């Protein structure tokens, strides 16, 4: 834990392992590095101890040479008063004999020119012990502080304090040190949040409009556009201040009150009396006060949770859907700490607001201004000259093997596209010249700033890519990508061509009947995209061979890039596999649903929320996560069973156990859960979603679409392992019609 005043002086923090971490603090004359450690116990295996001290040695070797080094923590080492260790340990240790961990600590200190400062100061015996042996009154000194000998005079005193109590068998070890840290003055400005929800009131809304009109009438027109905008902005803010006001910060309900504080004070006082007298009476009194404090805190916390659940239930009863789900998400996410520290280009931590703002300015300036290097990296050549006419063997391979899928991803697609090529693409697609000029005007001399709370950086110009956060940017990028894809030569469905191309934003999938066809069209896509400043990201591009027969994975080389061959990958949130089976996708969705269910377990365990509200939470939050992309699933009996088992697990938590005729509680049977759900199970939900998707895809009015759909769903081996989606839809629709 770092104090707020010391926080601006932090230069870096590095968590090395579950036993080691380091933090570096900026000083006026020199910097200081603190290494916190937790060593294995004395009875641990030698290999474990060697590994720990090896890792600790690696950390120390990376500490800057002139830093003041402090190593502290629970090293589980008893250091004695032997003369052999006098160079690294003082004469005021609690122990007379050094154990194995203590010898390792002394050898380590000697090898790194360190001194065990916690043994160098005379104190009472009770102020030397740091750990109380469980079940006894004996204490050991196993928590130590080591400092570099060059700066050991900075450590003024080290002792343990028994008054600090956090229900641990360790005592608090405190060192008084002399370090001149670099103080940084940081003035934090409060960010103003307006109570915009008051505008829902018609009277306040009308008053706000009248106040805006009044403020704008009082202000004189300005000749400069910036001055005019500042005048309008000040008028709007002044009107908001007069009518709606600032949003009052609502602190979360604090269940820790004065009664809790007094209970902890009584417990701590009883503990101090017990530590001083060590009598059995005082020991029992301390245990009693500790149990009382625990019961009180538990009761207070439970009452606070009850009030939260009642507020949630009231929001649902009133029909306040937004309030209801906002509270659900708040309970689901829990506390979200604000991270306002970043690292510079060399990896050092930045804590000063000005430096942080400057670093983010540099980052976004480099990110959003991408150079036109894509065309230089692509070697342009005539692909058709290197491709021979297909032979009989090639045709047989196309029949034997199903597809070669390649998912391409562009590197910084929205930020790297050439702006001049955007306008050329719009003209190529027949966009009216007036609209092209308007789009060009909006993108000319566009600038952005970085805002961190109330601090705003200097503006920087964006010279490439589309505008950030602009509603028109997605349309413009899609038009540019369409112009690039049109020259690839992939049109129509795979039923009539050797390749098929599907794109969603900058994620593109090329499906081909042969590897040569896939390489040819991918190379063409690279060349055409490079003309518009787009470069394929080889590290995110994957190659998948879809076949019935298992084959070893192999990478594919396209130009200068090597594309990784995989057996499965996630595309648009769904898992595609080489065996074309939906089982992997179903397992992944059940895992995602289980994680979502765990995040809401606090609500499902609550006895104060009705079953109807819990059921609505399941249907609106958990089930959509589990059934994402289910419209294209062709489920087998095994996968249907897995989904049903997952749903029944959630429903048993929703409805709880039931009391039978004997008065004993039991879990609800499967048919009982189905009756409570009115037969609206997750499997029936998936079937209805599949029919809905089929209804959007297949129109009975246009025969050509029906023929194309039959062709696209006809090859069961290509789309799924056992049965086609169309067959599933037909079977479900026939059952519902009967």
Residue 340 lies in a domain: no
Report CA torsion sign: 210, 213, 218, 224: positive
Residue 172 lies in a domain: yes
280 and 378, same domain (yes or no)? no
Residue 487 lies in a domain: yes
Distance CA 207, CA 187 (A): 35
Lookup result for tokens 């005082």: 282
Q: What is the H or E stretch that residue 250 is in?
A: none
What Cα–Cα distance (Å) separates residue 174 from each residue in 117, 508, 539? 12, 60, 50
CB 28 within 8 A of CB 15: no
Task: Please give the torsion angle defined by the CA atoms of residues 207, 208, 210 and 212, in that order, rounded to the nearest 10 degrees.
Answer: 160
* 315 alpha-carbon distance from chain centroid: 29
Q: Tell me the CA end-to-end span of the chain in Å, nearest whole number.
A: 68
CB 466 within 8 A of CB 473: yes
589 and 447, same domain (yes or no)? no
Q: What is the pLDDT of residue 404?
A: 53
Distance CA 71, CA 406 (A): 52
542 and 612, same domain (yes or no)? no
482 and 440, same domain (yes or no)? yes
222-255 burial string, b = 16+ CB within 10 Å, else e? eeeeeeeeebeeebeebbbeebbeeeeeeeeeee
Q: What is the pLDDT of residue 399?
A: 42
Lookup result for tokens 């403020």: 215
Beta bridge partners of 139: 132
Q: What is the pLDDT of residue 715?
A: 38
397 and 530, same domain (yes or no)? yes
Residue 348 lies in a domain: no
Low-confidence ranges of the chain (pLDDT < 50): 372-387, 392, 395-403, 701-723, 738
CB 208 within 8 A of CB 243: yes
63 and 137, same domain (yes or no)? yes
270 and 391, same domain (yes or no)? no
151 and 272, same domain (yes or no)? no
Task: Please give the torsion angle defined by the CA atoms of residues 298, 299, 304 and 308, in that order, rounded to the nearest 10 degrees.
Answer: 90
Number of domain units in the chain = 5
Distance CA 720, CA 74 (A): 57
Helices (H) and strands (E) counted in the chain, each on its own, are: 25, 26
Q: What is the pLDDT of residue 392?
A: 47
Distance CA 598, CA 591 (A): 11
CB 406 within 8 A of CB 558: no
3-state helix, strand, coil in the chain (%, to 5): 50, 15, 35
What's the burial of 460, exposed, middle or buried (CB within 10 Å: 0-12/13-18/19+)? middle
Structural domain harbouring 229:
196-243
CB 467 within 8 A of CB 476: no
CB 427 within 8 A of CB 436: yes
What's the burial of 380, exposed, middle or buried (CB within 10 Å: 0-12/13-18/19+)? exposed
Distance CA 249, CA 242 (A): 18
265 and 375, same domain (yes or no)? no
Residue 353 lies in a domain: no
Among residues 149, 177, 205, which one ends one of the domains? 177
* Angle, CA 69 vertex, CA 63 and CA 71 arms, to 5°: 105
507 and 625, same domain (yes or no)? no
415 and 371, same domain (yes or no)? yes
Q: What is the pLDDT of residue 529?
A: 82
Instruction: State the DSSP code for 701.
Output: T
Q: What is the pLDDT of residue 252?
A: 62
CB proximity list for 362: less than 8 A, separation 6 or greater: 345
Residue 356 lies in a domain: no
Q: Rounded to the nearest 5°, which phi and psi values hold at 404?
A: -120, 110
State the angle between helix axes of 280-318 and 258-277 in degrees (0 to 180), rounded to the nearest 10.
160
Distance CA 128, CA 117 (A): 12
Compute the radius of gyration of the chain from its Cα atoms: 35
Residue 347 lies in a domain: no
Q: What is the pLDDT of residue 470?
A: 79
* Model confidence pLDDT, tens digit, residues 425-452: 888 888 899 998 998 888 888 888 888 8
Distance CA 415, CA 398 (A): 38
268 and 403, same domain (yes or no)? no
Beta bridge partners of 599: none
What does the H/E/C string look like for 636-647?
A: CHHHHHHHHHHH
* Model confidence pLDDT, tens digit, residues 578-605: 777 888 889 999 999 999 899 888 888 8
Residue 338 lies in a domain: no
The strand pair at 342-343 and 460-461 is best described as unpaired
Distance CA 566, CA 405 (A): 10
């Amino acid at each position: 834990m770092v104090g707020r005043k010391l926080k601006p002086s932090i230069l870096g923090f590095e968590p090395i392992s579950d036993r080691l971490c380091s933090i570096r603090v900026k000083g006026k004359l020199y910097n200081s590095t603190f290494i916190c450690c937790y060593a294995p116990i004395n009875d641990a295996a030698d290999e474990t101890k060697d590994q720990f001290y090896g890792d600790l040695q690696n950390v120390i070797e990376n500490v800057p040479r002139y830093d003041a080094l402090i190593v502290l923590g629970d090293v589980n080492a008893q250091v004695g008063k032997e003369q052999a260790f006098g160079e690294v340990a003082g004469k005021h240790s609690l122990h007379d004999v050094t154990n194995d961990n203590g010898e390792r600590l002394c050898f380590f200190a000697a090898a790194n020119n360190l001194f065990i400062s916690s043994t160098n100061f005379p104190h009472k015996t009770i102020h030397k012990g740091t750990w109380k042996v469980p079940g006894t009154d004996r204490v050991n000194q196993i928590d130590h502080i080591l400092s570099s000998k060059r700066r050991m005079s900075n450590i003024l005193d080290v002792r343990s304090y028994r008054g600090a109590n956090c229900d641990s068998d360790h005592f608090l070890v405190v060192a008084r040190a002399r370090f001149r840290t670099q103080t940084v003055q940081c003035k934090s400005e409060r960010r103003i949040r307006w109570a915009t929800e008051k505008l829902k009131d018609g009277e306040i809304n009308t008053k706000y409009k009248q106040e805006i009109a009044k403020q704008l009438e009082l202000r004189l027109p300005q000749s400069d556009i910036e001055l005019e905008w500042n005048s309008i902005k000040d008028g709007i803010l002044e009107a908001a201040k007069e009518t709606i006001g600032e949003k009052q910060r609502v602190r979360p309900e604090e269940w820790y009150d004065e009664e809790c504080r007094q209970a902890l004070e009584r417990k701590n006082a009883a503990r101090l009396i017990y530590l001083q007298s060590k009598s059995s009476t005082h020991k029992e009194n301390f245990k009693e006060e500790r149990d009382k404090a625990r019961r009180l805190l538990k009761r207070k916390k439970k009452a606070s949770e009850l009030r939260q659940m009642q507020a949630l239930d009231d929001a649902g009863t009133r029909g306040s859907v937004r309030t209801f789900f906002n509270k659900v998400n708040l309970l689901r996410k829990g506390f979200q700490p604000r991270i306002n520290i970043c690292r510079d280009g060399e990896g050092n931590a930045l804590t000063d607001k000005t430096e942080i703002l400057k670093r983010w300015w540099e980052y976004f300036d480099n990110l959003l201004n991408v150079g036109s290097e894509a065309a230089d990296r692509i070697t342009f050549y005539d692909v058709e000259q290197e491709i021979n006419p297909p032979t009989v063997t090639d045709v047989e391979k196309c029949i034997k093997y199903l597809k070669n899928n390649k998912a391409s991803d562009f590197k910084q697609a929205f930020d790297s596209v050439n702006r001049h090529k955007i306008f050329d693409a719009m003209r190529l697609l027949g966009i009216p010249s007036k609209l092209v000029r308007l789009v060009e005007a909006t993108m000319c001399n566009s600038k952005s700033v970085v805002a961190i709370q109330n601090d705003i950086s200097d503006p920087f110009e964006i010279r490439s890519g589309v505008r950030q956060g602009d509603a028109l940017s997605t349309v413009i990028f899609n038009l540019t990508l369409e112009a690039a894809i049109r020259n690839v030569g992939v049109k129509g469905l795979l039923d009539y061509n050797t390749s098929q191309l599907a794109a969603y934003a900058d994620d593109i999938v090329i499906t081909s009947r042969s590897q040569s066809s896939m390489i040819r069209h991918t190379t063409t896509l690279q060349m055409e995209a490079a003309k518009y400043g787009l470069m394929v990201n080889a590290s995110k591009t994957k190659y998948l061979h879809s076949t019935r027969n298992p084959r070893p994975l192999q990478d594919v080389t396209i130009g200068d890039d090597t594309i990784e061959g995989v057996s499965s990958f996630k595309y648009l949130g769904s898992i595609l596999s080489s065996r074309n089976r939906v089982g992997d996708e179903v397992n992944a969705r059940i895992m995602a649903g289980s994680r979502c269910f765990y995040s809401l377990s606090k609500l499902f365990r609550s006895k104060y929320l009705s079953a109807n509200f819990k059921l609505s939470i399941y249907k609106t939050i958990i089930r959509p996560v589990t059934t994402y992309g289910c419209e294209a699933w062709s489920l087998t009996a095994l996968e249907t069973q897995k989904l049903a088992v997952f749903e029944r697990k959630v429903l048993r938590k929703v409805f709880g156990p039931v009391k039978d005729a004997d008065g004993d509680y039991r879990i609800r049977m499967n048919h009982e859960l189905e009756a409570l759900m009115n037969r609206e199970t997750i499997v029936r939900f998936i079937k209805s979603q599949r029919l809905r998707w089929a209804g959007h895809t297949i129109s009975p009015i246009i025969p050509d679409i029906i023929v194309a759909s039959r062709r696209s769903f006809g090859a069961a081996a290509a789309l799924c392992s056992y049965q086609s989606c169309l067959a599933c839809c037909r079977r479900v629709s026939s059952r519902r019609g009967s």
